[in-house]
Amino acid sequence: MASPEEVEQKYELITRGLKEVLGGDAIKAILTEGRSPKCYWGKCTAPTGKPHIGYFVALTKIADFLRAGVTVKILLADIHAFLDNLKAPLDVVSYRTKYYEFLLRAVFTSLGIPTSKLIFVEGSSYQLTKEYNLDNYRLCATVTEHDAKKAGAEVVKQVDSPLLSGLLYPGLQALDEQYLDVDFQFGGVDQRKIFTFAELYLPRLGYAKRSHLMNPMVPGLTGGKMSSSDPKSKIDFLDPPEEVRKKIKNAFCEEGNITENGLLAFIETVLIPISEMRLERMRGETVADDEEGKGASGSQKPFIADDAPEGTVFTIKRNPKWGAPSHYKSYKELENDFAEKKLHPSDLKPSVADAIVSLLEPIRKAFLESEEWQNVERTAYPDPNAKPEGKKKKKEKVYHPPPPGKGKNANATNAPADPNIPATEGATSAVVNVDGVKEATSS
Amino acid sequence: MASPEEVEQKYELITRGLKEVLGGDAIKAILTEGRSPKCYWGKCTAPTGKPHIGYFVALTKIADFLRAGVTVKILLADIHAFLDNLKAPLDVVSYRTKYYEFLLRAVFTSLGIPTSKLIFVEGSSYQLTKEYNLDNYRLCATVTEHDAKKAGAEVVKQVDSPLLSGLLYPGLQALDEQYLDVDFQFGGVDQRKIFTFAELYLPRLGYAKRSHLMNPMVPGLTGGKMSSSDPKSKIDFLDPPEEVRKKIKNAFCEEGNITENGLLAFIETVLIPISEMRLERMRGETVADDEEGKGASGSQKPFIADDAPEGTVFTIKRNPKWGAPSHYKSYKELENDFAEKKLHPSDLKPSVADAIVSLLEPIRKAFLESEEWQNVERTAYPDPNAKPEGKKKKKEKVYHPPPPGKGKNANATNAPADPNIPATEGATSAVVNVDGVKEATSS
């Protein structure tokens, strides 16, 4: 049994900043018993593209869970990724899931978040089993087309000729809760209909109804919904500082506009919570875990100036030409200043860029220090412009005999070309590699 | 290599009487190579209810396949049966599949059809494997909702709130062709859209397109579409002769009406083909197999009178009061007589009943001689009115203590009731058995 204060404290940490909580009582009951709730996060981890730093929004919330002693199971949805496009073969997908795991562990480690309760699960480890598939069939024999469609309406791409798989996903995601054996699922509030679908249907299969914790939806960092498919705007976790600064400089950030502003959203959902966490640690206020803060790499400085007054959670530095720095005690204060045009985008941007650069620095360092991670990266996301040296297989040399009467052996008429004999000196053969890139080899 | 005559003869046997053939050339090519085509029949064998003799229509056609040397794989769709209602637990379903196998083997054996190439496959033996399910997912990521819906339009029950499973079935049936490794699928022409769906989509997964052979749809034997759910009208394979005669007597059969006439349809699709087969055998005309006719049990007499003229395939016997018997050389002749009211229902019915009784006699005999089959039958289709002695498990006796101050131990106040102690003599406890039938046990 945990004390009511401890329960409240942990519950507050688990749920703070969320847009909506369904089944909060069940989580409180688990905390009261002194148990660790188990959480599943999956939707955002179909490892199709390279993750961008928009992930920090969810990861910052997950950091709260881990700090409150929650066991967090991150689903590396390899089967879904494979099905999403049917382009990447399953073995490439498996490297991508490895890449995700390297990255996410590096992120949590850099923040000093205890990771002993962080578990990565590959979907393929259970989603192809007999039991899971029988349950999938049972679910399909229970769920109406209408309910499946409604559940996926916000998260499944709505197209003219929707694929059948779109109707399966809500059910599979519900089954994941059972098969991952968790107490709650975490996701964006765009998952609400999927979550309520799971709450309705899991009990019909005889399984427990799970709680659902939802993050608010925020605009993408650099304008509009940050998309992995626009490589120019997205900021990669491994981008070097100059790249980060350039992208932030080009980000959409209109003076006085606080609604479509990815930078403000990032300050609210990532930078200030991390800044606060660091301040809490400095004050010795850790909630749950002895591991808290241990092993943190890189600067653990909150995003405030050294001379910031007590209670500051974020400082906007300024070129002295334009005035003194602004110290904010809450996001709301900063937002108000921006709305009233007391805080200009050209002052906001460098402070955000500085904070992001300092966040990414230890992650980039971990990558550069890990040969294994680098190898995984190369296979998971091959450079389409690179020469295919990743494939160690020797290319078979093709001998194109010179036209009759030409070439070195012009006199040896009708000598058969032996494909096993290397092409004669100076001959050039065209080899088409696996990526379809035409490459001239001279042998 | 087979001779063109042999190919033609086998192809004719395989396709005669069918309503439609898609991909006949592929079957001819296999026959020309001297190989045995492989066939899959599945749709009608979801073992939910007890099979009725309407199955003879498909089985008579399958007899042609077997006689032509085709390998016939009959899918005992246990998973589908389980899903169809989610009422019968999987272990009861497994007894039903055993019952089907006993029955179908008995039918073919009684007809003297070679069964060495008859293979029964339980769906659960491959439909829950990793490979099959991954292919199911792949298919769902390829098939549009629209195409899946269209494919199932004729065979999936159309209701206001259709279940998701209805959209999965066409794809699963397509995958069955691949996983059963067959050359063609056989079914009623109501399966046409499912079949063309399979022809379209299997190649998109990289699998071969299969041929499709379709039987005509015929009215049920005893009026309307013969349904397993109307136990009064359907004729069970194991019905005793008097039951068969009674049901045939009550069958819908309107004078002169040849379109809604299950008896005529049964003569055309079952009785005359079997009669012809027996005549062919008597003339020594067997197509493919040395086994042909061996092991046949019961009367192997064609359904013609002893003194019928050469070429007769069906004889209508008559009470001499009403005239001489009619001998028909083809179904068409018989149908014409019925249409012109030269053949009266009261003459048609007894002849059909005689033929069916003689067809069922060896099947019923096989059942009565096989203790194993009888045991399977009891577990597969428990008599809802019987006392539940099929379940060998001892019922736990529930002790209902008498109200305070009553009963034998009235004086032992507050003595706790031990549920492990048998109820005292004369006490009556209500035990609800698995079927929900309330039964009083006196202990």
Residue A48's pLDDT is what?
63
* 76-115 in chain A: CB under 8 A from chain B: 79, 83-84, 86
Residue B85's pLDDT is what?
63
Residue A428's pLDDT is what?
29
Flag if B137 and A168 touch (Cβ within 8 Å). yes
What does the pLDDT average to over A258-268?
93
Q: Is B212 helix (H, G, I), strand (E, B) or coil?
A: strand
| pLDDT-based confidence at residue B416 (cuts at 50, 70, 90) | very low
Q: Which of B130, B148, B165 sits opposite A128 (nearest CB)?
A: B130
Flag if A163 and B171 touch (Cβ within 8 Å). no
Q: Answer whether A410 touches B (CB < 8 Å).
A: no
CB A69 within 8 A of CB A356: no
pLDDT tens-digit map of A45-90 = 555 678 889 899 999 999 999 999 999 999 988 887 777 666 667 7
Q: What are phi and psi of B41, to 5 degrees?
A: -125, 125
Q: Which of B130, B133, B140 sits opposite A165 (nearest CB)?
A: B140
pLDDT tens-digit map of B152-198 = 888 777 778 888 988 998 999 999 999 999 999 999 999 999 999 99
Q: Which residue has the higher pLDDT, B326 or A233?
A: B326
Residue B45's pLDDT is what?
55
Residue B436's pLDDT is what?
28
The CA–CA distances, whole Å, from A334 to A247, A269, A314 equal 22, 13, 8
Q: Which residues of A touch B136 (CB under 8 A)?
A: 133
Mean pLDDT of chain A: 83
Flag if B168 and A139 touch (Cβ within 8 Å). no
Tokens standing for B88?
């019968």
B85 to chain A, minimum CA–CA distance in Å?
Answer: 8
The CA–CA distances, whole Å, from A190 to A166, A169, A187 equal 15, 14, 8
Residue A148's pLDDT is what?
94
Closest CA to A366 of A105, A169, A33, A115: A105
A242 to chain B, minimum CA–CA distance in Å?
Answer: 41
B196 to chain A, minimum CA–CA distance in Å?
Answer: 18
Q: For A94-162, what is the HEC assignment?
A: HHHHHHHHHHHHHHHHHCCCCCCCEEEEEHHHCCCCHHHHHHHHHHHCCCEHHHHHHHHCCCCCCCCCC
Residue A149's pLDDT is what?
92
Q: Which residue has the higher pLDDT, A322 or A293?
A: A322
| pLDDT-based confidence at residue B243 (cuts at 50, 70, 90) | very high
pLDDT exceeds cutoff 80 at B82: no
State the CATH class of domain A4-215: alpha beta
Burial B269-282 (b: 16+ CB within 10 A, else e): bbbbbbbbbbbbbe
Domain boundaries, chain B: 4-215, 241-380
Flag if A133 and B137 touch (Cβ within 8 Å). no
Q: Which residues of B touch A143 (CB under 8 A)?
A: 163-164
What does the pLDDT average to over B284-304?
76
- pTM listed for this prediction: 0.80
Query: For chain A, how many residues are written?
Result: 443
Report the DSSP pairing between strands B38-41 and B71-76. Answer: parallel
| pLDDT-based confidence at residue B428 (cuts at 50, 70, 90) | very low
What does the pLDDT average to over B305-311?
94
Q: Answer whether A144 touches B (CB < 8 Å).
A: yes
Residue B410's pLDDT is what?
39
A97 to chain B, minimum CA–CA distance in Å?
Answer: 18
Q: Answer whether A139 touches B (CB < 8 Å).
A: yes
Closest CA to A350 of A237, A247, A236, A433: A247
Chain B CA closest to residue A138: B83
| pLDDT-based confidence at residue B47 (cuts at 50, 70, 90) | low
The Cα A150–Cα A143 span in angstroms is 11
At A182, the amino acid letter reads V
Chain A CA closest to residue B162: A144
The Cα B12–Cα B64 span in angstroms is 10
CATH number assigned to the domain covering B241-380: 1.10.240.10
Flag if B164 and A168 touch (Cβ within 8 Å). yes
Closest CA to B55 of B249, B156, B188, B192: B188
Flag if A162 and B145 touch (Cβ within 8 Å). yes
Flag if B167 and A144 touch (Cβ within 8 Å). no
pLDDT exceeds cutoff 80 at A297: no
Substitution target from A127, A164, A172 for chain B, most B beta carbons within 10 A: A164
**Quick one: A280 exposed, middle or buried, by C-beta within 10 A (0-12, 13-18, 19+)?**
middle
Q: Of A14-28, A246-260, A383-397, B236-250, which gets the smallest average pLDDT? A: A383-397
pLDDT exceeds cutoff 60 at B420: no
Q: Is A374 helix (H, G, I), strand (E, B) or coil?
A: helix
Flag if B141 and A171 touch (Cβ within 8 Å). no
Flag if A86 and B138 touch (Cβ within 8 Å). yes
Q: Which of A79, A143, A162 sits opposite B137 (nearest CB)?
A: A79
Flag if A128 and B138 touch (Cβ within 8 Å). no
Look up the ipTM and state it. Answer: 0.77
What does the pLDDT average to over A256-269?
94
Residue B387's pLDDT is what?
61
Residue B49's pLDDT is what?
73
Flag if B141 and A79 touch (Cβ within 8 Å). no
Q: Which residues of B touch A152 (CB under 8 A)?
A: none
pLDDT exceeds cutoff 50 at A153: yes
Q: Answer whether B419 touches A (CB < 8 Å).
A: no
pLDDT exceeds cutoff 70 at B69: yes
Q: Answer whether B232 touches A (CB < 8 Å).
A: no
Residue B391's pLDDT is what?
47
Q: Answer whether B171 touches A (CB < 8 Å).
A: yes
Substitution target from B91, B131, B137 for chain A, most A beta carbons within 10 A: B137
What does the pLDDT average to over A103-128?
92
Chain A CA closest to residue B146: A161
Residue A404's pLDDT is what?
45
pLDDT tens-digit map of B338-361 = 999 999 999 999 999 999 999 999
What does the pLDDT average to over A266-290?
86
